[in-house]
């Protein structure tokens, strides 16, 4: 797949690198030379230019069904709209744009973008969820009352089999999987996922080991009760 | 729990509202009067002021173990560092700060914050994952090879029982749960989670219904194969 990313601020830059690292052909366009220089050996094409100028956009190959253009501008409402409008006029098939507030979102919708990205909204929701559940290692809501959460193995479960601990009937929780192995460095980002590998599907006769982390699914209140009960 | 949020840009504002809406006492401090006015009826306290001035911070009650202060400033590296330093000097127990690049992150670490928030990084990762898996309704990596994904029910499974479809042995996938019911509006945010409610734990004799969405766990390649096979 081909991607053109317009704007290489924190978000655009991170997105460009993640897409390039997974084998995509990524083109980045930004006004700042320093940003472009830093990216040019890490993506297919990195160009300096003002995307609100149609001549700049015409220099890019924006045709093809397998191209997605992302307007990754976080500030400068007007520039985001101008560029998105130009891309639409040029007949670009797949356009995604970052939106910064509800008016911006409504205009992007009228322009007919394929999707919007509310980066801060997503991060704020995740952080609020995290704060509300600091006793759990990692927490993701699945609907308004259910969640997926990770907890340390209760210490007296070491050596027990999954079928012996009665997670489902006693605690009303389902074990999705178990993280087992070396935890690589996630940095200090409070929203980073614990990144030890998981062991596919735990069988009923699986034996718990020290340092296992349980990935559990159930009602939020069941998850909290479990964490409190075991002090995990 | 009490929260003081310094900086009410997109991220700080969204965080303040989410925390206030779940019953927390939230204080917001920002330099811009318009932002503060808009928030003042929706959070406990909303104040206009320059947080780099120690006199402004001294007006806030920053004591107590149950207080978390979040420096939610996305631009202005220096202001973020200045404010975080002042909060540390004042003996604030729990400080979280948004970090915008690796130098910023290293300085915040030296200052001893409890956690950092890389909002754009989180959003970029999720969007990259989403782009790589557009055939799936919703997608969340669990480790480097496993993921959680949501797909529409294959149409010829309507009326079948869970135990009849052999998800585990035929497709090497585990059914975490099923979304069933009215899908409320998620807007056009490509990162929004489908938000129909889930039905706790599906039993082997559960009968699939039209419009069910399956929440599946397994290897990424198994998830993709499933989506391709059924065209869901």
ipTM of the complex: 0.88
- Do A143 and B14 make contact, defined as CB atoms within 8 angstroms? no
Count of structural domains within chain B = 2
For range B55-80, the mean pLDDT: 93
What is the average pLDDT across B92-104?
93
Residue in chain A nearest B11 by alpha carbon? A120
Residues of A with Cβ-Cβ distance to B133 under 8 angstroms? none
Nearest to A12 by CA among A25, A33, A30, A24: A30
Q: Which of B131, B132, B198 sits opposite A146 (nearest CB)?
A: B198
pLDDT at A77: 86
Using DSSP's 3-state secondary structure scheme, residue A26 falls into strand
B119-132 vs A119-132: helix crossing angle, rounded to 10: 110
Distance of CA A1 to the CA centre of its chain: 19
**Residues recorded for chain A:** 232
> Do B209 and B150 lie in a common domain?
yes
Q: Do B116 and A179 touch (CB under 8 A)?
A: no
Closest CA to A136 of A51, A226, A65: A226
Same domain as A154, residue A111: no
- Which pLDDT tens digit goes with each residue over B139-174? 888 888 999 999 999 999 999 999 999 899 999 999
For residue B79, the model assigns a pLDDT of 96
Per-residue model confidence (pLDDT) at position B184? 64
- Residue A166 structure tokens: 């009665």
Q: Which CATH number does the domain housing residue A19 bear?
A: 3.40.50.720
| Contact check, Cβ <8 Å, B200/A144 | no
CATH code for the domain of A209: 3.30.70.1450
Q: In terms of domains, do A138 and A210 share one?
A: yes
Distance from CA of B194 to the nearest CA of A (A): 9
Report CB contact under 8 Å: A120, B19.
no
Same-domain status, A110 and A154: no
Choosing from B104, B121, B138, the residue where a domain stops is B121
Provide the pLDDT for residue B55: 96
What's the pLDDT at B188?
Answer: 75
The answer to whether the CB of B121 falls within 8 A of the CB of B101 is no
Mean pLDDT of chain A: 92
Q: Which structural domain range is residue A74 located in?
A: 2-121
Cβ count within 10 A of residue A217: 25
| One domain, residues B112 and B41 | yes
Q: Report pLDDT for A184.
A: 64
- What is the band of A74 on the pLDDT scale with cuts at 50, 70, 90? confident
Of B72, B98, B121, which residue sits at a domain end? Answer: B121
Res B186 pLDDT > 70: no
């Amino acid at each position: 797949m081909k991607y053109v990313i317009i704007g290489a601020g924190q978000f655009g830059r991170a997105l460009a690198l993640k897409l390039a690292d997974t084998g995509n052909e990524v083109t980045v366009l930004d006004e700042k030379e320093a940003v472009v220089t830093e990216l040019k050996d890490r993506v297919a094409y990195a160009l300096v230019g003002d995307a609100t100028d149609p001549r700049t956009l015409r220099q890019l190959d924006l045709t093809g069904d397998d191209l997605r253009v992302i307007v990754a501008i976080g500030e400068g409402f007007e520039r985001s709209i101008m560029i998105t409008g130009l891309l639409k006029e040029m007949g670009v098939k797949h356009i995604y744009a970052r939106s910064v507030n509800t008016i911006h979102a409504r205009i992007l919708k009228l322009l007919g973008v394929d999707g919007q990205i509310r980066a801060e909204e997503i991060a704020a929701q995740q952080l609020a969820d995290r704060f509300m559940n600091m006793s759990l290692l990692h927490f993701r809501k699945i609907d308004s009352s259910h969640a997926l959460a990770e907890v340390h193995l209760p210490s007296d479960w070491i050596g027990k089999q999954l079928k012996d601990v009665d997670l489902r009937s006693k605690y009303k929780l389902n074990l999705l999987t178990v993280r087992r192995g070396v935890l690589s460095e996630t940095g200090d980002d409070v929203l980073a996922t614990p990144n030890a590998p998981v062991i596919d599907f735990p069988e009923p006769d699986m034996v718990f080991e020290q340092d296992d982390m349980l990935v559990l699914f159930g009602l939020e209140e069941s998850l909290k009760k479990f964490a409190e009960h075991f002090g995990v």
